[in-house]
């Protein structure tokens, strides 16, 4: 699988993305023709080699003549629909602009239909967004990853006057994503860059192991002395057979003064509230007291709500939080018919090919109770039924 990893240590913007992709091997002539193919008059694209700190980089400039109209979402979508671009590029660019419109509507308290794209949606943003999507497609990228983007600080001028950095639309777009503030008081991540990440990044974990084939370095417009303002893109092929991985939140707390009945009731509450997993491990705490070590795994965006529930429903005075990566097999749920009735199984796709089926315990238990048969017998019958339907070899199963 062909992947791209954006190193956003100095944030990301639309023009930085274009420059990084051209630096990585995308045809500049193709980018240069994009304004004409989108029907944009008074717009041209140029490039020049520059230095940003220790980096030799490429700078791409989208020059727009004065007098460009304010565009609402319908005008942007019409330009995409009539443009000479591939259907897959059109649909992905459309998704990026929909995210932009939703973010702008949220921060301005209006509807997506009434949003007019000024800073983020003028002719240069059309070139930035469509060019970024087209460049990734031309380089064969199937999946996009990124490091947490640096946002910057200070203020930036807008049509509404000075606004704080990160801009409100940037904050809205990156809700739920890992970010870093600073390190200098300028806008490092723009709304256009944030929209590209929010739409195109598969997940915020690090990429799987991959063979590095191409690199590109795109320069931002600013050249602060204290910071190299560049975006790097690394493109390569993920190793065959590697299981996909993604970022999860891990919450932990130790309890040495809690009623075990309360702990037992807390676990199903956490799972019902969105935890991916929750477990309790017996442990020995200070002064030799027995205790319980509560561990909860969750989606990053659910961490705050779950921590609040733990602090509210238990005697804990503090919950530790960290972000880990975990490898995950793709899975689906299937139903099979057996002599004991319908049984549900989880079917996982294995690295390198093949599948493994594991019966859902509650489904097995319900069928076993109805039939008055042992759990293992029902579980084995379910796996055998799935194997007959899949045409695969027999495997032992566990409920």
Of 215 and 209, more confident: 215
pLDDT band at 247 (very low <50, low <70, confident <90, very high): confident
Rounded mean pLDDT of 201-222?
89
Can you give the pTM of this predicted structure? 0.69
Q: What pLDDT was estimated at residue 118? A: 60
Task: Tell whether the model's pLDDT for residue 352 goes beyond 80.
Answer: no
The string over 204-216, giving b where at least 16 C-beta atoms fall within 10 Å of a residue's C-beta and e elsewhere, is: bbebbebeeebbb
Rounded mean pLDDT of 107-124?
76
* Residue 195 buriedness (CB in 10 A; 0-12 / 13-18 / 19+): buried
Kindly report, residue by residue over 254-286, the tens digit of the pLDDT.
999 999 999 999 999 999 999 999 999 999 998
- For the chain, the average pLDDT equals 91
Task: Tell whether the model's pLDDT for residue 317 goes beyond 60.
Answer: yes
CATH H-level, domain 245-327: superfamily: Transcriptional regulatory protein pf0864 domain like (3.30.70.1380)
Task: Tell whether the model's pLDDT for residue 291 goes beyond 50.
Answer: yes
pLDDT band at 242 (very low <50, low <70, confident <90, very high): low
pLDDT band at 398 (very low <50, low <70, confident <90, very high): very low
Q: What share of the chain is helix, strand, coil (3-state, %, to 5)?
A: 35, 30, 35
Taking the C-alpha atoms of residue 276 and residue 114, their distance in angstroms, rounded to an integer, is 39
Going from N- to C-terminal start, the domains of the chain cover 2-238, 245-327, 331-390
Alpha helices in 211-302 (DSSP H): 260-272
Secondary structure, 3-state, 143-180: EEEECCCECECCEEEECCEEEECCCHHHHHHCCCCCCE
Q: Which of 69-73, 136-140, 288-292, 378-382 has the lowest mean pLDDT?
A: 69-73
Task: Tell whether the model's pLDDT for residue 149 goes beyond 90.
Answer: yes
């Amino acid at each position: 699988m062909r992947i791209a990893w954006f190193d956003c240590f100095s944030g990301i913007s639309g023009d930085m993305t274009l420059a990084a992709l051209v630096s990585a091997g995308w045809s500049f002539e193709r980018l240069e023709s994009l304004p004409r193919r989108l029907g944009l008059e008074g717009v041209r694209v140029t490039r020049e080699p520059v230095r940003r700190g220790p980096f030799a980089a490429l700078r791409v400039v989208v020059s727009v003549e004065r007098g460009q109209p304010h565009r609402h979402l319908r005008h942007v979508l019409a330009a995409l629909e009539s443009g000479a671009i591939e259907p897959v590029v059109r649909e992905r660019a459309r998704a990026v602009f929909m995210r932009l419109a939703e973010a702008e509507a949220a921060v301005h308290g209006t509807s997506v239909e009434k949003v007019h794209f000024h800073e983020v949606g003028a002719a240069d943003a059309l070139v930035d967004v469509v060019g970024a999507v087209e460049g990734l497609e031309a380089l064969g990228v199937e999946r996009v990853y990124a490091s947490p983007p640096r946002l910057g600080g200070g203020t930036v001028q807008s049509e509404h006057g000075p606004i704080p950095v990160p801009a409100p639309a940037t904050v809205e777009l990156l809700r739920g994503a890992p970010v870093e503030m600073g390190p200098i008081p300028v806008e490092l991540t723009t709304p256009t860059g944030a929209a590209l990440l929010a739409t195109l990044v598969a997940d915020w974990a690090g990429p799987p192991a991959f063979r590095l084939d191409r690199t590109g370095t795109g320069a931002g417009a600013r050249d602060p002395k204290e910071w190299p303002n560049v975006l790097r893109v690394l493109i390569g092929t993920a190793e065959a057979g590697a299981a996909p991985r993604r970022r999860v939140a891990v919450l932990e707390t130790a309890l040495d003064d809690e009623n075990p009945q309360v702990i037992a009731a807390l676990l199903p509450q956490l799972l019902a509230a969105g935890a991916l997993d929750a477990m309790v491990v017996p442990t020995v705490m200070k002064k030799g007291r027995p205790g319980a070590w509560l561990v909860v795994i969750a989606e990053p965006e659910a961490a705050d709500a779950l921590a609040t529930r733990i602090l509210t429903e238990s005697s804990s005075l503090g919950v530790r939080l960290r972000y880990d990566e975990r490898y995950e097999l793709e899975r689906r749920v299937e139903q099979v018919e057996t002599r004991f009735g319908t049984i549900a199984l989880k079917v996982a796709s294995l690295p390198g090919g093949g599948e493994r089926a594991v019966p859902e315990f509650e489904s097995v238990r319900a069928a076993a109770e109805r039939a008055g048969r042992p759990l293992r017998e029902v579980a084995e019958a379910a796996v055998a039924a799935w194997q007959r339907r899949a045409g695969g070899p027999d495997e032992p199963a566990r409920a």
